[in-house]
Structure 1
Amino acid sequence: MKLLGSCHCGAVRFSLNSAHPYPFNVCFCSICRKTQGGGGFAINLGGDADSLKVEGEENISVYQAQLEGDQGLSPAQRHFCKNCGSALWVHDPRWPELIHPFASAIDTDLPAAPERTFLMVGSKKAWVPVDAGPNDKVFDAYPEESIAGWHQRLGLES
């Protein structure tokens, strides 16, 4: 599926191909919560890094989060619009073939997920509800199942 995305002010527009376009992965980690998640969480998708096309690249800044304790900087590079602050996507050089766009930056209509995965719930704040349904999965930390694995298990690859 081709995904089209943009920032709020329109200074950055991007597109990429995604075999994993269902917004199911609700992350409550402190990095997602503080850098992107107005609801106390963020949802990202999986995309093909080689297909990423960007207009307005000069308006993008990259943030690498400081990890807890003495772990140093996260290798994950969070791209955002330096004008309006919109979170756009995450790229991690450990998986160079992947881009993880934030569902909130995608303008294309996304398919509704038949179930959701709530992850890093151990990091969420008390004011944030976990609205898990009967088929949803809830994890205190990161689950072993990847975005691609979830789509494969449910037969939802496009």
Structure 2
Amino acid sequence: MLLEGSCHCRAVRFSVESHEPYPFMRCYCSICRKTAGGGGYAINLGADFHTLKVTGRRSLGVYRARMGDADDAETSTGQRHFCKRCGSALWLFDPTWPDLVHPHASAIDTPLPAPPHTTHMMLGSKVGWAQAEKRAGDACFDEYPDESLAAWHERHGLHDT
């Protein structure tokens, strides 16, 4: 599925191909929550990095999170791209997995299919006010700790090959 997205001010626009376009994974980690999660979590999609096309690169900023509170804390390899003009979170790229890019569902302008189930992850980082409402069939990441985005889509019969 071709996904098209943009920041709020539309200075940055992008498109990317995704075989896993269902926004099913809610991440409650402090990094996702604080950089992109207005609901107390962020929803990231999986897409093919090699198909990513971007206009407005001059307005792009990159944030690399620090892992821990100490002055000598390690910096994450994950590159969180955002618009320097309006602050919209756009996508995450990590060179550790060079074939993948994770656009934030909130930045996608293309209508996305509703997921039949949701996976909640990093619940240990969830703030008290965020509601992790689980519907029948929803899972916690701990139930499928090695499951990839593609494997979730395949398990639910939603993988577009």
Q: 8 Å contact 1:89–1:99 — kept in the other structure?
A: yes
Looking at structure 1, the residues matched to 143 and 78 of structure 2 have their Cα atoms a distance apart, in angstroms, of 17
1:138 counterpart residue number: 140
Q: 8 Å contact 1:122–1:141 — kept in the other structure?
A: no
Q: 2:139 is matched by which residue type in structure 1?
A: K
Q: C-alpha root-mean-square deviation of aligned residues, in Å?
A: 1.5
- Compare 139-148 and 128-137 and name the one that shifted more: 139-148
Name stretches of at least 5 consecutive residues in structure 2 with no aligned partner: none
2:121 counterpart residue number: 119
State the 1:143 CA deviation: 2.9
1:89 counterpart residue number: 91
**Secondary structure at the counterpart of residue 112 of structure 2:** coil
State the 1:141 CA deviation: 10
Q: 2:17 is matched by which residue type in structure 1?
A: N
2:12 counterpart residue number: 12
Distance 1:26 1:112, change over 3 A: same
1:22 counterpart residue number: 22
Name stretches of at least 5 consecutive residues in structure 1 with no aligned partner: none
Instruction: Indicate whether 1:39 and 2:58 are aligned.
Output: no
State the 1:144 CA deviation: 1.9
Aligned length: 158
Matches within 5 A, 1:36-75: 36-68=36-68, 71-75=73-77
State the 1:142 CA deviation: 8.6
Matches within 5 A, 1:97-116: 97-116=99-118
Give the TM-score normalised by structure 2: 0.94
Q: 8 Å contact 1:123–1:140 — kept in the other structure?
A: no
State the 1:139 CA deviation: 3.9
Looking at structure 1, the residues matched to 49 and 117 of structure 2 have their Cα atoms a distance apart, in angstroms, of 26
Identity of counterpart residues, as a percentage? Answer: 58
